[in-house]
Amino acid sequence: MKYYIADSAVFIMDGFKNINYSSFITVASVTEELKSDEAVMRYDIARENGIIVEVPEPDKRNSVIETARYTRDLNELSKADIDILAKALEYRDKENITLLTDDYAVQNVAELLKINIEPVAQKKIKDKLVWEKECIGCKKRFECGDTCPICGSKLKRKSKRKV
């Protein structure tokens, strides 16, 4: 059977591919990202109609965190993002799954974890990237941080290299 791992974008953008809610799997922490009444209502309807809500395995969360550290996407990922990636990783080798997400950081980490992804409303990423920070003032590059330790300007996220 084909399963879809549903990120919060599925509920926000009404991204259900079919009416068979039992083919969708999500994690409870996605509710933290549902801000509109409509998105909450879609989540509630999905729960009432058989969407599978599970807790991710801790070892899979650790694998996701390590991969996100490598790509330097970790600071961009919410708890729900890490949980949904962990759940997709858990099912990756057991079932025919596709992770539905519009989040580019989630897509980047998923690509490195060899998880099949499909965007809900946005375009899919073209390249897998490792990120770094660049000072908007002196243009020096750093692995992490928000403020340049040299000149005090803001650091902006830039791609370092393709993976």
Residues 67 and 96 in one domain: yes
Q: How far apart are CA 132 and CA 142, in angstroms?
A: 6
Domain count, the chain: 2
31: number of Cβ within 10 Å? 17
Sign of CA dihedral 131, 135, 139, 144: negative
What predicted TM-score, i.e. pTM, was given to this entire model?
Answer: 0.83
pLDDT of 126 > 90? The answer is no
At 160, the pLDDT band (50, 70, 90 cuts) reads confident
Residues 31 and 108 in one domain: yes
Within a domain: 123: no
Within a domain: 124: no
Residues 30 and 104 in one domain: yes
Residues 25 and 66 in one domain: yes
Domain that holds residue 54: 2-118
Q: With pLDDT > 90 as the criterion, what percentage of the chain qualifies?
A: 70
Rounded to 10 degrees, what is the CA torsion of 154, 126, 14, 45? -90
